[in-house]
Amino acid sequence: MSLPAPPDNYTFPSHRFNRTLRNADKTPLVLVGCGSFSPVTYLHLRMFEMAVDYVRQNTEFEVVAGYLSPVNDSYKKPGLLSAQHRVNMCSIATEQTSSWLMVDPWEAYQTEYQRTAVVLDHFDHEINQVLGGVRTADGEHRKVRVMLLAGSDLISTMSEPGVWSAPDLEHILGRYGTFIIERSGTDISRATETLGAWRHNIFIITQLIQNDVSSTKVRLFIRRGLSVRYLLPAPVVSYIEENGLYLDDGAPTSDNSSGHSKKEEISKDASSASASTS
Ligand SMILES: Nc1ncnc2c1ncn2[C@@H]1O[C@H](COP(=O)(O)OP(=O)(O)OP(=O)(O)O)[C@@H](O)[C@H]1O
Ligand SMILES: NC(=O)c1ccc[n+]([C@@H]2O[C@H](COP(=O)(O)O)[C@@H](O)[C@H]2O)c1
């Protein structure tokens, strides 16, 4: 797939990228979490920790980096605050609470919505072509595997007609693969039953300590004047308070007033994707 030009002044964040593989027998892996992150919560950050534990205990991969990729404003999901605020909140959360997570604003700062398949291609390009992959302690080059990290609610939309194009599913699940964090309210076996062809590339992670925080609930609490402390990092709570975010339903979110639903938008993108890839 062809990649759009990078946003102005863009550089791929790699300051926390582990460029030397600890175990030369393992395959280097980068986890990419795509989502609205409006706002980012502790659960979003924990998804990466759960994935790292799962990878270490159950797979032949070694995680060398983890990225949050906030979705573009054109996604037009209700409650989607501007990309700038969402990127800022994700950056505050990762820089102040994690030693290895990074935020990539490439997708958020594009001039239009970018499908997840294209976002994964962007990561693959930056990591394997531009950075040149990683090396073992002996200096041997290794290509890095890029995989999507998602909750089971997102994966269940892959069986809904019109949300993802068939070529995109093949691209995401066949070429890259995914780690799925189970989420209460989604039946994981039903969510994945139509994805059997890519079973070898789909890893399901059980939440041993159930956490059903969602950005929607956080936004609702803020609107009602309820505390959201300890649901998201304290510096993110301060950022929200200082900027008066999420106090009312509409402003100052990104423009979601055009009347288009998320599904209509994605469906439109997905069909143009099918047309361009077939
Ligand atoms: N409680 C949770 N358990 C498992 N996965 C989650 C949970 N919350 C979010 N995710 C996953 O995090 C990713 C980013 O999601 P997103 O930013 O849309 O969060 P959200 O909290 O579901 O947002 P919203 O409430 O605005 O729909 C998605 O893959 C989603 O499935
Ligand atoms: N066709 C697609 O590429 C497609 C479809 C639906 C959601 N997504 C992605 O899923 C992520 C999370 O979406 P939600 O916030 O709606 O759960 C976003 O990054 C969005 O871009 C991609």
- pTM here? 0.92
Gap between the Cα atoms of 13 and 159, Å rounded: 33
Cβ contact 203:195 at 8 Å: no
Q: Rounded distance, CA 148 to CA 120, Å?
A: 8
Question: Complex ipTM above 0.90?
Answer: yes
Each residue's pLDDT tens digit, 84-96: 999 999 999 999 9
Domain ranges of the chain: 27-210
Distance 232 CA to ligand 1 centre (A): 13
Whether omega before 105 lies within 30 degrees of 0, making that bond cis, reads no
- SS3 for 24-59 is CCCEEEEEEEEECCCCCCHHHHHHHHHHHHHHHHHC
- C-alpha closest to that of 231 among 33, 39, 34, 32: 39
User: Could you say which ligand is closest to the alpha carbon of residue 80?
Assistant: 1
Mention every residue, 6+ apart, whose C-beta is less than 8 A from residue 175: 120
Counting from 1 in the atom list of ligand 2, the atom nearest the Cα of 270 is 1
Distance 214 CA to ligand 1 centre (A): 6
Low-confidence residues in the chain, pLDDT < 70:
249-278
Contact yes or no for 41/6 (Cβ under 8 A): no
DSSP characters over 215-231:
HHHHHHHHHTT---BTT
Q: Does domain 27-210 have CATH number 3.30.70.380?
A: no
Distance 75 CA to ligand 2 centre (A): 8
Determine the distance separating the centroid of ligand 2 and the alpha carbon of 241, expressed in angstroms. Answer: 27
Contact in structure between 43 and 211 (CB atoms under 8 Å)? yes
Q: How far apart are CA 228 and CA 106, in angstroms?
A: 29
Would you tell me how many other CB atoms lie within 10 Å of the CB of residue 28?
26
Whose CA is closest to atom 10 on ligand 1?
Answer: 151
Q: Which of 82, 61, 60, 56 is nearest to 70 (CA)?
A: 82
Q: What type of residue sits at position 58?
A: N
pLDDT in tens, 98-137: 999 999 999 999 999 999 999 999 999 999 999 999 999 9
Which residue's CA is the closest to the ligand 2 atom numbered 13? 35
